[in-house]
Structure 1
Amino acid sequence: MGKEIVDSKFLESMADRRPFMKRMFTVFISQEPKRIQSIKDALSSGDVEKLRHLAHSLKGGAATIGVERVRECCLQLENACKAGDLDKAMTLMDDLEEEMRNAYEFMFNYLAEH
């Protein structure tokens, strides 16, 4: 994926709202691992509707703070759910976990530097 981990234009637009960004990133880091676990559980139990709902809510959360690649993964995961394609969803889950790791790393660095 050619997109940045966190959209730099978004970060620039938030430059004068660093405390807000730091709070948003902190919440993301503390809460999203639980949601990722729920997504994995829904996937392994084949609960497509729950999986779609969780992917949709994570997509919204990611979009709010400019985490474009996670948002994109969630969109694809949502579409796979709508199509009932669990094999595709499994593959996308791997992508999503990798992008979440990238996002956490970016956020930890951001928090350390600001």
Structure 2
Amino acid sequence: MDVRQLEKLSVLQDEDSPNLVADMARGYLDRTPPRILRMKELLAARNASQLAHEAHGLATSSGMFGMMRVRQHCKALENLARGPGLEGAEGLLARIEQAYAEARPLLMTQLGIREE
């Protein structure tokens, strides 16, 4: 978890929207498990181009919130999916899922987000 990324986002907050980063992070946290599931479905369907697209999107949003291992694994999956085959994609998806599971509580703690 790279908290410097969260510090960069904090400039978006002001007195009218003091919880903007936490609200944005809630959206990320809500959307990520379904995105991982979608990537699994795309892999099962052997849809490499859509898999690369989904991995790219998750890499971008994960990096924005300092989830750097998630980002790294998503970039690796994106690059793999843009290549000639999908050998190793299942392992990368497992690493994405694991990295997300490990970093999720750290992000929530950092931003004071509670489970609902």
Both structures adopt the same fold (TM-score exceeding 0.5): yes
Matches within 5 A, 1:91-102: 91-102=91-102
Query: Does residue 21 of the first structure (1) align with residue 21 of the second (2)?
Result: yes
Q: CA deviation at 1:14?
A: 4.6
Q: What letter corresponds to residue 75 of structure 1 in structure 2?
A: K
Question: What is the alpha-carbon distance in structure 2 between the residues aligned to residue 8 and residue 60 of structure 1?
Answer: 16
Query: Does residue 80 of the first structure (1) align with residue 80 of the second (2)?
Result: yes
- RMSD across aligned C-alpha pairs, in angstroms? 1.8
Matched residue SS, 2:88 = helix
Query: Would the aligned equivalents of 2:67 and 2:100 in 1 still touch at CA under 8 Å?
Result: no
For residue 41 of structure 1, what is the aligned residue in structure 2? Answer: 41
Greater RCO, 1 or 2 (C-alpha within 8 Å, sep 6+): 1
Q: Provide TM-score, normalisation by structure 1.
A: 0.81
For residue 10 of structure 1, what is the aligned residue in structure 2? Answer: 5
For residue 107 of structure 2, what is the aligned residue in structure 1? Answer: 107
CA deviation profile, 1:67-113 (whole Å, cap 9, x unmatched): 2111111110011111233221111111001011122222333324x
For residue 50 of structure 1, what is the aligned residue in structure 2? Answer: 50
Higher helix share: 1
Q: Provide TM-score, normalisation by structure 2.
A: 0.80
CA deviation profile, 1:32-83 (whole Å, cap 9, x unmatched): 1111111010011111111001001111111222221111111100111112
Q: CA deviation at 1:21?
A: 2.0
Query: Would the aligned equivalents of 2:36 and 2:93 in 1 still touch at CA under 8 Å?
Result: no
Taking a change above 3 Å as real, the CA distance of residues 14 and 48 of structure 1, as seen in their structure-2 partners, is closer
Query: Would the aligned equivalents of 1:52 and 1:81 in 2 still touch at CA under 8 Å?
Result: yes
- Structure 2 gaps of 5+ residues are none
Structure possessing the higher radius of gyration over alpha carbons: 2
Taking a change above 3 Å as real, the CA distance of residues 44 and 62 of structure 1, as seen in their structure-2 partners, is same
Taking a change above 3 Å as real, the CA distance of residues 52 and 14 of structure 1, as seen in their structure-2 partners, is closer
Question: What is the alpha-carbon distance in structure 1 between the residues aligned to residue 77 and residue 66 of structure 2?
Answer: 18
